[in-house]
Amino acid sequence: MKRKSVGYLFILLNLWVPANAQHTSEKHYNGAVLTLQSTELSQGRRAGRGSLSIDGLFYETAAGRTVLPEQLSGKRQSVRGRLWKSQLKMADGRVVTISVQPQGKDFNVSLKAQPDSDILKWGLAVEAGKNEYYTGLMERVVDGPQRASWAPDLKAAMDLRGQRVEMIVKPTTSVYAPYYLSSAGYAIFVLGNWPGLFDFVADQLGRVKIEFEGPSFEMKVYTSADPAALVRAHALDAGPPFMPPKWMFMPWRWRDEHTQRATYYDGTPVTAPFNSEVMEDVLMMKAFGIPNGIYWIDRPWGPGKPWGYDDFDIDENRLPNFAEMVKWLDGQQTRTVLWIAPFFQGRMMQQALAKGYTLAGQVRPLTGNNYPMVDLTNPAAKAYWQDGVAKLLKLGVAGFKLDRAEEDIPESGPYKVFDGRTIRENRNAYPAMYVKAVHEVAKKYRGDDFFLMPRAAYTGSSPYSVFWGGDVGGTQEGLRASIIALQRSAVMGYPNWGSDICGYNQQLLEQEVCGRWLAFGALNPIMEVGPTRNVAFWNLPREPRYDIELIAIWRLYARLHQRLIEYNYTYAQEASRTGMPIVRPLFLVDPKSPQAWTNWWTYQYGRDILVSPLWEKGKRTQQVYLPSGHKWRDAWNPARAYQGGRTITVKAELHQLPLFVRVGSKVDLGDLNQEWQESHAIAEKRPDLKALDAELKTWWDRRQANKEE
């Protein structure tokens, strides 16, 4: 019988080392020391056990920092499976309580004090190994301005070692979790919503420093020799992840701003009854054989200047016959999704301001429209705002892109929200409250047949939504950042994720970058194509304006994504049930291999598919690490199968995404070479929009005539 691994606690309080000791910077410092031991930890193994050393405990007030002092010197206590507590009487008169609750092989650690009203911050440090690897926390590659994550010549990737990360949700690449995973066999999840800081051996050799604001501090320490177990445990604690409807896994199309035009892109007059750009996209995709299950209309879609978002009403000039258009799209097996944001406009804004429904401390921004934001801790304010969302659901809208929960939001000052929390604590809590509020009203009108996709996320968001990668740069480095963000998000407990294909900021629409991004996007749970500067691959603002290569690549990979609906849905169910993400960085599936930790651009997609996206322009070969324990078949050359546990070099033309299928699986990706040839031939022939428009106009006229009868 296999012996169950049991974590236990070994406490050393204040094994203090004098400041002049040679090993002070390498070992414990500043007072109390907690040593957590578990057979699951791989760092510092002794007699079959690993240990995790936590020290440097402190709290901070306006008067300065107080380090937990030398207490109980030399006393040791071993604890198995029961709560351990120690109380320390401090020089300032307060009593600090340190408690550790073993939970199987994991631990809950908390720091509290009485009185605590003036405590601003708590902190501690965790011993770091020489080559220890850390990941998680944020979808950004590096902290700071978001553009830093797609800066040219950026070397940082999945590993956070050497970085300092502020744990406060920043715009607009904004998926965060106060959770990191270490290659040493542990992970840490800080509970609560207060802002904080993680320092991964950036400030001091041999230390991960953790500091969080607030009157108390609590974290969960997971231990396991299997990194995937660490990811699964946190995902379920923070979730479980939302289970979207199956149709969400179809390809998507969107534009940033829709205009009602008199002609289509090629000069063909518009006679059919709906928004010209929606019709152009849907009719052209249908003619090309490009599947599309979701059409997302970003703002503006409502009346009011300058933002077009007033009172959750539809602008019939921009979107004529909107309710009928939603039904027409439904008939095309395409659901309608709209952009929303957590603020009031129009008459609702005047009412909300008068009733005190808005966030205290918010100043109207000089640019942007994220004002006034709804105070979601106020039940009346939330219900008033939800009534607006309900108007859209009643029109048949099947989902929402939730923008702006992290932008222009007040984060400092003496103000409090309705439920009494400070706006500082509200800062990270707001994204989850936002998505939960929409989830409540959407579920009322659509049951389980909807999804929500916010830009910002923090602990508490995952049970209610899927996610997208914010306003990423449309450069090769932006694509690189998205390859990392997809995997970071998976590690953090956000398994259903996608990026703006071709990017959002800096939309250069370069053929090679867009082509590689289309391929990468197809092997994301969410494949959303747009906004392409509010045009499409058939009328780009550069030459070739009608881009045969991109249309063909789009068709090739949209059809592949469509064939993977059942596959994606199955692994989304697994993610919701067990916490195991759909996208699996190689260290989750082959952690004993050094290459699995360094080949960050390759990931496993579910159990049976291996993906290795290219992002650099001009590159036509790729180094791919094949996880050990299986044979992998090249999807482009099915006669070639390779034993796992090694790195191979494969050729990859612009249309070729390196893809491998696990030998023995039932996955069939189809004949990609034949699909490519067909897609290219179809893309060469421009669809007849006059005939397509006339067909839709005839359908509309008959529908109207039947209504009159």
pLDDT digits (tens, 9 = 90+) for 103-135: 999 999 999 999 999 999 999 999 999 999 999
Contact 170, 146 (CB under 8 A): yes
pLDDT more than 70, % of the chain = 93
pLDDT reported for residue 692: 98
Global confidence as pTM: 0.95
Alpha helices in 523-653 (DSSP H): 548-563, 565-578, 586-589, 594-598
Backbone angles phi, psi at 252, to 5 degrees: -120, 160
Helix count and strand count (H, E) for the chain: 14, 34
* Whether the predicted pLDDT of 76 surpasses 80: no
pLDDT more than 90, % of the chain = 89
The 8-class DSSP code of residue 463 comes to G
Domains with residue ranges and CATH for the chain: 8-127+186-223 (2.60.220), 246-574+685-694 (3.20.20.80), 583-674 (2.60.40.1180)
Region 16-21: what's the mean pLDDT?
Answer: 30
pLDDT digits (tens, 9 = 90+) for 235-280: 999 999 999 999 999 999 999 999 999 999 999 999 999 999 999 9
Q: Which range is least confidently modeled, 47-51, 92-96, 353-357, 548-552?
A: 47-51
What CA–CA distance (Å, rounded) separates 633 from 648?
12
pLDDT digits (tens, 9 = 90+) for 485-497: 999 999 999 999 9
Q: Any residues with CB less than 8 A from the CB of 519 and at least 6 apart, and which?
A: 553, 557, 613, 655, 656, 657
* Whether the predicted pLDDT of 519 surpasses 50: yes
* Whether the predicted pLDDT of 500 surpasses 60: yes
Contact 560, 524 (CB under 8 A): no
Question: Up-side HSE of residue 90: CA atoms within 13 Å toward CB?
Answer: 21
* Whether the predicted pLDDT of 88 surpasses 50: yes
Return the structure tokens found at 675: 């699909």
pLDDT reported for residue 708: 81
